[in-house]
Amino acid sequence: MKIRVIVFLLFIMFTTAFFAFSQQSADDDEWYLGIPIRDIIFTGLKNISASELDGVVEPFKRRIFDYSVFWELQGRLYALEYFDQIEPSLRRANASGSELVIVFNVVERPVIERINFIGISGATRRELSQVIISRVGEVFNQAKLSVDVDAITNRYIELGYPNVAVTAQDVQTSDLGITLNFHITENDRITISRIEFQGNSRYSNNILRSQMSLRPRSILNSGAFQEAALLADIEAITKYYRDRGYIDAIIRDVTRTFEEGNRGTSLVLTFMIDEGNEYRFGGVTFDGNVIFSTDQLSRLITVSPGSIVNMTRLEIDLQKISDLYFENGYIFNSIVRNPEKNTQAQIFSVNVTIVERGRAYIENIIIIGNNKTRDNVILREIELEPGDVFSRTKIMDAMRNLFNLQYFSMVMPDTLQGSTENLMDLVLTFEEQPTTDIQFGLSFSGSADPNTFPVSGLLKWTDRNLAGTGNEFGVEINSTVIDSSSFAANYIHRWLLGLPLSLGVSFAANFSRHTDYMNNSAPFFHGNEPYAYPDGFTSFEDFEKSRTLSNEYLMSYQRWFLSLAFSTGYRWPTPFGIFGTSGGLRFGVINNYWDEMEFRPFDPVLRESNNVWRPRNILWLSLSLDQRDIFFDPSRGYLLSQRFGFHGIFPEEREHYIRSDTRTQFFHTVFNIPVTERWNFKAVLGVQLAMSLILEQPGREISIERVNQLAIDGMFIGRGWSEEFRNRGYLLFDNWVELRIPLLRGLLAWDFFFDAVAIESERGYYFGTNSSGESNFTLENFRFGLGGGLRFTIPQFPIRLSLVKRFRIEDDTVQWQPGPLFWGMDFVMAFAMSY
């Protein structure tokens, strides 16, 4: 049927075009060939606006007209499925005839004005509207109507109406409008009243019912009967027996007894079971294996001889044999499993017969579906080339690399037979996703300073796959107007010289307002004395115990920072993960300004110069080993990273110090239970152990502004502990444990977390004892938090909304901290800066 419709449409296209061109040809002998197209005009439009067609016709304007261009244009217009008829004609755009205009006179398809569901009682109009794809206001499409009928039918089957009948009718209600009527004959709803078993002696009815998805009608369950679910339950019960040694167990029949009652027709399901005998495992023997020895293959079998047979475990072990050959390029082997049962001794064994063939070599790598991304961008992420031995591990590594690019929503590998016996083609099919992000409006600024205004205006444009080259370019303007404004532009070239060597360049201009301690009143301190304390405190002990301070004792100052940065990095694949190294240099100038007549900063580094542009340069180097499956939202693997930042390169710079950041992360999928075709109930355990240090540069004393010292910000580190923000120091522990449960795949997750963070504000006493002989980093130094919240898993929208309950340990007693919300909890909104 579809072929005849296509042939008919092509006949109309060619016929109309032929008559239009013949008329023109009679006048000027095909004057239109080789002439640029100035414009494309539509007549007859009523419900569809010309702007909706701009995306199709704009690429054809200014192109040189010929028949192939015309067929392509008209084919795209028909593909929109907006029109029943398209009649083309051509005319000169000017008196000289140097340009032409294409005029399409169209007859639109009708628009859906209303959708009716007739005969419904077991489902609601809203419920059915959600399962169909036809929508009011859209152009009517007959193909969609057939899909809608199937969708309504399937929904009713799910609700327990297996004999439902659905028909559809389109009724003309105006010149260009129709009403869709879905006529539904529900028939009887069948619900399960009881599920019974006969022939089961080893396992109780309750145990067998627990393996099923079908449930009898109850307060918590509708009891809807579905044929597909019944077949799945038969498999589940059979598997339960066979995993416990009853390898001959079968369900020979399921009887259905219908009962009429006040609540309609109910169904009693009775499963007739033949359990058979319990078998023990006799082992696996091998024939025909030469490439791998019998000892090598036997070590893959974990089911012990003499144990009760577990068919699922045995199947997994036998699959390891195929995988071993497959992984080493022997994909054309014949591996046959021959079950052997000794019914007298009740022993079950397996003989594996192997016919070994030569290794498979890749003849071609074929890429399909990449409309934007260039082939070389894809091929460079695959550690295979034509002529290489096939490797399953390398294909899986390639899949991970390609998904981590964030260019594709789907990557599907396949293997096809090549031109000869030992050759194969590797086919990769892609579905691309948008890589250009344009954002504007209001956003959460993500500032960790609790005194700054948190909402900012944002204008951002980023292309993570610039012109399909795999390179990135972005521009961003962000401003709160009150506290901060910034402009940034960056470009990253991902591969240089055909190697995973990156080169990046960025420019940034930042203006910000900050608050800090001041020392306007006597006694006056230089600021680095061990007994010094700022205004608002009466002694160093008072300052040490309480780091919170009223704003009347805080000074404000402005900061400008302009910088230009260059960075580079390289990646090596290893058996333990991707080893990466990167480094860069940021050249900048900084200017801090405050009113000297009003303020005297307590921080000596900040006090050193006022309203003077000084250089501020940063050299950094990092190493990492990354085995995570997807780095922006991992479900398994680990990350080890070390970063060193050298702040202050030249003597005239105000700050000189080294910052070291060490981080370890581990992720493991605790469970992954399929619930629907597109969603699994899944939980991922994540653990982080991280430590940051401020160290001296060789031959120099540490010189660092307080604003750049380490801190528990209460948003990214130590969630909820915002009052600790002013307690800055030189050593920071940032540890957490999270249980992540995806709610919407690739979009939203719910996280439960436990935080344990601590900071050392006294320089030089990072471990052991401090100047008073007291131990550092006891439990009393740590700030704890536990809670949960929503996390957006979109890399472009990394926001967390969390509720946290805070506590600390004092005198070996848990001290719960008060919060403004119920149960003394705190609400935290923050950017998830890393995953």
Helix (H, G, I), strand (E, B) or coil at 645: strand
> Which pLDDT belongs to residue 4?
45
Helix (H, G, I), strand (E, B) or coil at 278: coil
Minimum mean pLDDT among 171-180, 404-413, 754-763, 795-804: which range? 795-804
Is 383 inside a domain boundary?
yes
User: Last residue of a domain, which of 274, 301, 333?
Assistant: 274
Residue 576 to residue 638: CA distance in whole angstroms: 10
Minimum mean pLDDT among 579-583, 739-743, 789-793, 797-801: which range? 797-801
Q: Smallest Cα–Cα separation from 303: which of 279, 281, 323?
A: 281
**CATH code for the domain of 631:** 2.40.160.50
Choice between 435 and 455, residue whose per-residue pLDDT is larger: 435
**Alpha-carbon distance values, 545 to 30, 95, 537, 542 (Å):** 92, 89, 10, 5
> Which pLDDT belongs to residue 10?
46
Residue 315 to residue 384: CA distance in whole angstroms: 30
User: Last residue of a domain, which of 325, 355, 385?
Assistant: 355
Query: What are the b/e assignments for 72-107, b being 16+ CB within 10 Å?
Result: ebbeebbeeebbeebbbbbebbeeeeeebebbbebe
DSSP code, position 396: H
Do 398 and 335 lie in one domain? The reply is no
Minimum mean pLDDT among 107-121, 499-513, 555-569, 663-677: which range? 663-677
**CATH code for the domain of 408:** 3.10.20.310
Do 205 and 179 lie in one domain? The reply is no
Is 438 inside a domain boundary?
no
Do 122 and 104 lie in one domain? The reply is no
Residue 378 to residue 402: CA distance in whole angstroms: 7
Residue 772 tokens, joined: 């008073």
Do 596 and 450 lie in one domain? The reply is yes
If pLDDT is split at 50, 70 and 90, which confidence band does 190 have? Answer: confident
Do 224 and 309 lie in one domain? The reply is no
Interval 475-499: pLDDT, tens: 998 887 677 889 999 999 999 888 8
Give the percent of the chain with pLDDT over 70.
90
| pLDDT above 50: residue 669 | yes
C-alpha atoms less than 13 angstroms from C-alpha of 558 in its C-beta half-sphere: 15
Q: What average pLDDT score do residues 772-799 get?
A: 80
Residue 30 to residue 47: CA distance in whole angstroms: 34
Q: How many helices (H) and strands (E) does the chain have?
A: 13, 33
Domain coverage including residue 825: 617-835
Q: Smallest Cα–Cα separation from 149: which of 136, 164, 161?
A: 164
Interval 54-65: pLDDT, tens: 888 888 998 999
**Alpha-carbon distance values, 452 to 456, 484, 485, 486 (Å):** 11, 8, 12, 14
Q: Smallest Cα–Cα separation from 102: which of 150, 53, 173, 172?
A: 53
> Which pLDDT belongs to residue 667?
96
Do 669 and 812 lie in one domain? The reply is yes
**Alpha-carbon distance values, 803 to 723, 790, 798, 835 (Å):** 16, 9, 17, 19
Q: Are 629 and 400 in contact (CB under 8 A)?
A: yes
The type of residue at 572 is W
Do 786 and 681 lie in one domain? The reply is yes
Q: 3-state SS of 498-561? A: CECEEEEEEEEEEEEEEEEEECCCCCCCCCCCCCCCCCCCCCHHHHHHCCCCCHHHEEEEEEEE
Q: What average pLDDT score do residues 154-167 get?
A: 87
Strand pairing category for 554-574 and 577-593: antiparallel
The total of structural domains in the chain comes to 7
| pLDDT above 90: residue 739 | yes
> Which pLDDT belongs to residue 781?
84
DSSP code, position 635: S
């304007």: which residue's tokens?
Answer: 61
Is 178 inside a domain boundary?
yes
User: Last residue of a domain, which of 185, 207, 238?
Assistant: 185
> Which pLDDT belongs to residue 29?
63
Do 467 and 534 lie in one domain? The reply is yes
Is 440 inside a domain boundary?
no
Minimum mean pLDDT among 157-166, 378-387, 826-835: which range? 826-835
DSSP string covering 558-627, please? Answer: EEEEEEEEEEEEEEEEETTEEEEEEEEEEEEEEEEE--TTT--BSSHHHHT-SS--EE--EEEEEEEEE-
Q: What average pLDDT score do residues 298-319 get?
A: 93
Is 501 inside a domain boundary?
yes
Is 338 inside a domain boundary?
yes
> Which pLDDT belongs to residue 263?
64
Q: What average pLDDT score do residues 319-337 get?
A: 90
Query: What are the b/e assignments for 189-222, b being 16+ CB within 10 Å?
Result: bbbbbebebeebeebeeeebbeebebebbeeeee
Q: Smallest Cα–Cα separation from 665: which of 695, 700, 641, 639?
A: 639
If pLDDT is split at 50, 70 and 90, which confidence band does 142 have? Answer: confident
Is 586 inside a domain boundary?
yes
DSSP string covering 185-230, please? Answer: E----EEEEEEEEES--SS-HHHHHTT-S-----SS---B--HHHH
Do 507 and 643 lie in one domain? The reply is no
Residue 64 to residue 56: CA distance in whole angstroms: 16
If pLDDT is split at 50, 70 and 90, which confidence band does 6 have? Answer: very low
Minimum mean pLDDT among 48-52, 307-311, 552-556, 767-771: which range? 767-771
| Length of the chain counted residue by residue | 835
Strand partners, 304: none
Q: 3-state SS of 117-175? A: EECCCCCCHHHHHHHCCCCCCCECCHHHHHHHHHHHHHHHHHCCCCCCEEEEEEEEEEC
If pLDDT is split at 50, 70 and 90, which confidence band does 421 have? Answer: confident
> Which pLDDT belongs to residue 7?
42
Q: What average pLDDT score do residues 251-258 get?
A: 91
Strand partners, 806: 785
Strand pairing category for 264-274 and 190-198: parallel
Helix (H, G, I), strand (E, B) or coil at 793: coil
> Which pLDDT belongs to residue 687?
97
Average pLDDT, the chain: 86
The type of residue at 801 is L
| pLDDT above 70: residue 193 | yes
Residue 78 tokens, joined: 């028909």
**Alpha-carbon distance values, 375 to 164, 222, 368, 369, 423 (Å):** 49, 52, 9, 10, 22
DSSP string covering 655-688, please? Answer: -BEEEEEEEEEEEEEEEEEE-SSS-EEEEEEEEE
CA 88 distance to own-chain centroid: 46
Choice between 7 and 764, residue whose per-residue pLDDT is larger: 764
> Which pLDDT belongs to residue 713?
84
Query: What are the b/e assignments for 767-806, b being 16+ CB within 10 Å?
Result: eeeeeeeeeebeeeebbbbbbbbebbbeeeebebebbbbb
Interval 705-721: pLDDT, tens: 888 899 998 888 999 99
Do 715 and 833 lie in one domain? The reply is yes
Q: Are 646 and 618 in contact (CB under 8 A)?
A: yes
Do 575 and 671 lie in one domain? The reply is no
Q: List CB contacts of 352: < 8 A, sequence separation 6 or more.
A: 284, 285, 286, 287, 297, 318, 321, 335, 336, 337, 338
> Which pLDDT belongs to residue 140?
86
Q: What average pLDDT score do residues 194-214 get?
A: 93
Is 437 inside a domain boundary?
no
Residue 475 to residue 458: CA distance in whole angstroms: 11
Q: What average pLDDT score do residues 680-703 get?
A: 92
CA 229 distance to own-chain centroid: 30
Q: Are 65 and 33 in contact (CB under 8 A)?
A: yes
Do 115 and 147 lie in one domain? The reply is yes
Q: Smallest Cα–Cα separation from 513: which of 554, 470, 465, 570?
A: 554
Q: What average pLDDT score do residues 517-524 get?
A: 88
If pLDDT is split at 50, 70 and 90, which confidence band does 254 have? Answer: very high
Residue 354 to residue 300: CA distance in whole angstroms: 15
